[in-house]
A and B are shown apart, each in its own frame.
Chain A
Amino acid sequence: MSELKEVRFSAESEDLIQNLIKRYPEGKQKSALIPALHIAQAEYDGWLSVPVMDKIAEILNIKPIEVYEVASFYSMFNLNPVGKCLIEVCRTSSCWLRGANDVVAHIEKRLGIKDGETTPDGKFTLKTVECLGSCGTAPMLQIGEHFHENLTLENVDELINKYKTETSHSKYLDGSTFRKY
């Protein structure tokens, strides 16, 4: 654990988490844990390190283990570093019926990585996921908060080309997602 370094959230993230805590009754600030982890993940390169999770525990005044057990349960939390562009491809029934496996195979070939791997330059991570509620517009993939639907292999190529030059991490949310109370 020698790599532990001081984690300091931006004023914006800190403020957002404090604001989210207000949504729950007094003493129930633990309810803000999942949204707070999303905010932390968005600020820290798309994954949750132990120091980041410890900081969230400190802010919410709960034990670190309460954070770890939640972070390890939910599939959207990454406990290891990911590429700048995290490509999540749905492969459950309806998407499979409409060619999800072709999409996965194409991405693997284009990027030279397998499911779950990151390209050596740290640009892309490929992750296959279960149903994302886009069955009527299958096949689909998600990058950050964006759904890319009715995919063809040409669309996939365009997306890869577009995200190649992207310099910031794909995110599920930003400071403007949540309403302030």
Chain B
Amino acid sequence: MARKILLEHIDVPGINTYDVYRSKGGYASVEKALKTMNPQDVVEEVKKSGLRGRGGAGFPTGMKWSFLAKPEGVPSYLVCNADESEPGTFKDRYLMEYLPHLLIEGMITSSYALGANTSYIYIRGEYFYLVRILEKAISEAYANGWLGKNILGTNYSLDLYVHPGAGAYICGEETALLESLEGKRGNPRIKPPFPAIAGLYGCPTVVNNVETIAAVVPIINMTGDEYAKIGIGRSAGTKLISASGHIKKPGVYEIEMGITVEDFIYSDEYCGGILNDKKLKAVVAGGSSVPILPADLILTTANGEKRLMSYESLADGGFATGTMLGSGGFIVMDESTSIVQNLHTFARFYHHESCGQCSPCREGTGWMEKIIHKILDGHGTLEDIDLLWDIQRKIEGNTICPLGDAAAWPVASAIRHFRHEFEEFVKNPSAQREVKYYFHCNNIDTAAAYSSI
């Protein structure tokens, strides 16, 4: 059975409004934290829970919090990263749209733990309709005494603001996000210093993903020890998975970590199997930047064990035969999909989104897009495939922020696992030249489906 913690009340009508949310036990974690716990106790509970950052990196949240510097007389900030832009990921949007108060409750409890009296939710600009929803929920929280001065009659005060971005994937990188919040271009900063020492306006700052902050609510309510029992091993708790692509039931699913990938793709409780009952070809398991895996390797590890939905199991085998849980953006491709053409959309994406600060990424992402485009156009050579491999290797690890790695990994994994498809494109381009529109979609009535291999 699916274990719902974050989405426990998702089906309750009106759960997006304050009254209904409160009647279902909402804001209990704030009461518990502010009335019965010191800020340090809250940090300890989060440490015990084993919660790991849900934005993609999977860094232990409690540890991140404990790095926060606390110099005298300097404010500290909590900033929620709602710049969800990783292709394939839409869980934060779902959470904010249907459970805005869960995020606000998590922001209050977390801000209390970190001693922050001003907190921001940085949300991507394209989600302006969510700004409207969050602003309304924040107004309700202020009106009911959960935000503002002396919350619940304690000495603790907090102001919470929503800040929209304006279209830049790079602002999901935490230091780029802080630059953007300061009204600048989203160029990532050189680390160290880390935001925990010098973040927003040079003050100690914690940046956490929406889902991470939401998870603090059940952790405080049920205790960290109880939360740590959910899931498997070091992958504690539940994870929201955004499932998309060629599946029968795309959407956001909350899973207890440790279920099998096979179960997730094929059971009716989750994705419901492949669209039109075709065969599974490949999966990008954690958002566009993680390595793509062919069907056999996503279902079982190289050792023949069933692959599980957890940080460790998905990473089993390293990049040679494994991938990453990342942000949980689960993109499924059926047998008719051209890996090279799909890769072109990724390469174009990273070229478009590179901030241009580091040469390997600025130039390399452009070269990769051009070479893949050249191959798609039927002018590719076998050397181009080696050149692509060479370029991605020279980007990886040579940039200030992880966007360079994120751009390199999809290219590397596509060549590693599907080199024959690139060769096919190069050797037999005429079969591809006529393919103007790359894929036939089941809910659009186009002439015919193109199978590219």
Contact = CB atoms under 8 A, between A and B. Distances in A.
Contacts of B84: 133
Given A76-B125, A136-B250, A146-B129, A96 B180 contact: no
A179 interface: yes
A72 to B, nearest CB: 8
B446 A102 contact: yes
Interface in B317-334: 329, 331, 333
A115 to B, nearest CB: 12
Contact of B135 (A70, A77, A177): A177
Contacts of A161: none
Interface string B433-453: 000111111111110000000
Interface string A20-54: 00010100101111110110000000000000000
B168 interface: yes
Interface in A132-180: 132-139, 142, 145-147, 150-153, 172-173, 176-179
A177 B349 contact: no
A130 interface: yes
Contact of B439 (A38, A97, A179): A97
A55 interface: no
Given A23-B161, A23-B163, A99-B439, A172 B168 contact: no
Interface of chain B, main secondary structure: mixed
Nearest to A176: B132
A124 B246 CA distance: 31
B345 interface: yes
Instruction: Say which size band chain B's interface belongs to.
Output: 35 or more
Nearest to B132: A177
A173 B128 contact: yes
Contacts of A91: 345
Interface string A41-80: 0000000000000000000101000100110011111000
B263 to A, nearest CB: 19
Contact of A34 (B162, B164, B201): B164
A75 B167 contact: yes
B87 A135 contact: yes
Interface residues of A, number: 59
B182 A73 contact: no
A38 B166 contact: yes
A135 B242 CA distance: 8
B88 interface: yes
Contacts of A152: 443-445
B446 A97 contact: no
A142 B126 contact: yes
A181 to B, nearest CB: 8
Given A73-B186, A173-B128, A96 B135 contact: no
Contact of B345 (A93, A132, A136, A145): A93
A101 interface: yes
A103 interface: yes
A81 to B, nearest CB: 18
B134 to A, nearest CB: 9
Contacts of B288: 92-93, 131
29 contacts: A31-B163, A31-B181, A69-B185, A73-B185, A73-B355, A74-B125, A74-B167, A77-B166, A92-B345, A92-B348, A93-B345, A93-B346, A96-B345, A97-B244, A99-B440, A99-B441, A101-B437, A105-B437, A130-B348, A130-B353, A131-B85, A131-B86, A135-B88, A139-B444, A147-B129, A172-B128, A178-B135, A178-B162, A179-B135
